[in-house]
A and B are shown apart, each in its own frame.
Chain A
Amino acid sequence: MLSVDSVSASYGNLRVLWDVSMSAEAGEIVSIVGANGAGKSTLLKSIMGLVRTQGGEIVFEGTRVTGVAPHTLVAMGIAYVPEGRRLFPEMTVRENLRMGAPRRCPEVHERLKVVHDLFPVLEERSFQLVTTLSGGEQQMVAIARALMAKPKMLLLDEPSLGLSPIAFEKVIGVIEKINREGVAVLLAEQSSERAMEISDRTYVLENGRVAGSGLSDELLHDPMVRAAYLGVGT
């Protein structure tokens, strides 16, 4: 469904990604784990066309999408939930959700109903400013807003950021539910262990390079990975 082949990216003179290759298939949850600054966010931004890549190519459903504008990618079926949620603070929950739907969208009410079924609390809070919501609820708005585009694949950048373990568990539950409904998920997460537990496959990034990859179950039980990335002694 999505394949990234030898992609590099830089911020000015600082190279952040070095020949990164990865893939995600339809219906999968793929996690990208690694320390702070490993390049997880940059990888998602590169896929989304928010960071210019150097070399390599990105293919989505058989179409080369390297350097394609974000709005075109959204129309093709990729949605992105940025790190830190990036909600529109001056808008209500409903308005934020509305922003996620395409400009001319006759089925906007149906889509709202779908996300309200997924997040009933957001229907109750429809006319509240998003800034009045708790961190967990704000994360739900961010995910729901991305789902308004009816994506085939959802890119999630650090959904655990600033959330209590209980709130994060709720978000994890939602991610699994979305995936069960047929949306592929690419999850970049510092809370590596939990991300690996819910994903099918994992890529481990280190200093902008893929340091390891494989089935999440296997990596979770690999003593070296546990020691190096999950902070668990051998």
Chain B
Amino acid sequence: MADRSRVWRFAVGMRNPSQITLLISLFFATVYPLTLSTEGSRVLSVYAVYFMWISLAESWNLVGGYAGLLNLGISAFFALGGVVGALALFDGFPFIISLLLAGFAGAILGVALIPTFRLKSFYFAIATLVVPLVVKPMVEFLGNRADFTVPQTVILTPIGLYYSGLVLAGITIFGAYFLMQSRVGFALRALGDDELASSSLGINVLLYKSIAVLTSGFIASAAGAYYLQIIGTINTTLFQNLNFSLFPIFMVIIGGIGTFEGPVLGAVVFSLINYYVTSQFPGSTVDTFILSLMIIGVAVLLPRGLVSSLHELRKRRTPIPVK
């Protein structure tokens, strides 16, 4: 009973406009495929990329946004998830198991980062930058190849891909929300604000940083196994693909760092702009230039991201009664 009331309290806590918008969007995302014909449902696989980015951005936000640890090597978790997912599918495991195995592999990689927790933020960031460089050759050596292509028979149908992505993103979003409403979330926010103060209050710094990094690693790797379903192959160059390390950070900055709805908005906005820009300038580097300018613009003009700026705008417009 106590648990039910707790869940209810969390649920009714979701009442600010961006959270309500998020719930409505999820509802429409759930019913949208029902409006499509069998032929038209092919378009669903396009949306899979959005779900993947939402999960990856939300995963980065747990560590970078809440716990204040700048992880520059999330591509390592992502690519490892893809590789483990492929190996699991080769071994005949179903998709859901491949996702879970990839997640556990990501959490184990997170354990490898624990010794770096005592480093100051800048040095921690450098350490995470090294992770992809270390894991990539290890994977190539152990797997004895650089390319992990799975047969078409184990790839999900567009509608399966869409709904599994929606579930992955949904679990990630609400998982992050519930986590941040819990005592663990408060401790993480405190850690991100001031590590010394948190530590002196009895917050077990190592424990909470570990929870953040392991959870984030799990989600990022599961997203990697999901990405495998989108493109059908994982090459180990993915470990060092800067896009997968930097884009989640950009998305969180655009949406709003340290908020649970920010990464969702950031992932959607960034992916849309990225899609538009790359289709306007195919094969050139102009897209990177424009995206970089956009990030600098957001950092200067909306340093707390879209979600916080929308909240502030709403507050400003709300009349305050004078006593």
Assess the A82–B190 pair: CB atoms within 8 A.
Answer: no
Does A146 touch B at the CB level, under 8 Å?
Answer: yes
Q: Is B204 an interface residue (CB 8 A)?
A: yes
Question: Cβ of B196 and Cβ of A88 under 8 Å apart?
Answer: no
Q: Chain A residues near B189 (CB, 8 Å)?
A: 88, 90-91
User: Chain B: which residue is nearest A80 at the CB level?
Assistant: B200
Q: Is B319 an interface residue (CB 8 A)?
A: no
Q: Which residues of A contact B197 (CB under 8 A)?
A: 82, 86-88
Number of residues in B with C-beta < 8 Å to the partner? 19
In whole angstroms, how far apart are the Cα atoms of A76 and B200 in the complex?
A: 13
A187 to chain B minimum Cβ distance, whole angstroms, is 16
Residues 92 to 110 of chain A near chain B (Cβ within 8 Å) = 95, 98-100, 102-104
Stretch at the interface among A28-36, A67-75, A114-122, A220-228: A67-75
Interface positions of A from 22 to 60, Cβ below 8 Å from B: 48, 50
Measured in the bound complex, the distance between the Cα atoms of B186 and A87 in whole Å is 13
The answer to the question of B323 belonging to the interface, with a C-beta cut-off of 8 Å to chain A, is: no
Q: How far is the CB of A12 from chain B (nearest CB, A)?
A: 13
A173 within 8 A of B: no
Of all chain A residues, the one with the shortest Cβ separation from B199 is A70
Chain B residues positioned under 8 Å from A103 (CB to CB): 183, 187
- Contact B202 A102, beta carbon cutoff 8 Å: yes
B194 proximal to A (CB < 8 A): yes
Chain A interface residue number, banded: 20 to 34
**Most A Cβ at <10 Å: residue of B187, B201, B205:** B201
In this assembly, does A149 line the interface, its C-beta being within 8 Å of a C-beta of chain B? yes
Say yes or no for B291: interface residue by CB 8 A criterion: no
Task: Convert A142-156 into 0s and 1s, putting 1 for each residue whose CB lies closer than 8 angstroms to a CB of B.
Answer: 000110010000000
Q: Known interface pairs A82-B196, A82-B197, A86-B196. Does A74 touch B202 (Cβ–Cβ under 8 Å)?
A: yes
Q: Are B187 and A145 in contact (CB under 8 A)?
A: no
Contact with B along A168-185 (1 / 0, CB 8 A): 000000000000000000
Tell me if B193 is interfacial: C-beta within 8 Å of chain A. Answer: yes
Interface residues of A (CB under 8 A from B): 48, 50, 69-71, 73-75, 79-80, 82, 86-91, 95, 98-100, 102-104, 145-146, 149
Known: A70-B199, A73-B202, A82-B200. 13 other contacts (CB 8 A): A48-B200, A50-B199, A70-B200, A71-B205, A74-B201, A80-B200, A82-B196, A88-B189, A88-B190, A88-B194, A88-B197, A102-B202, A103-B183
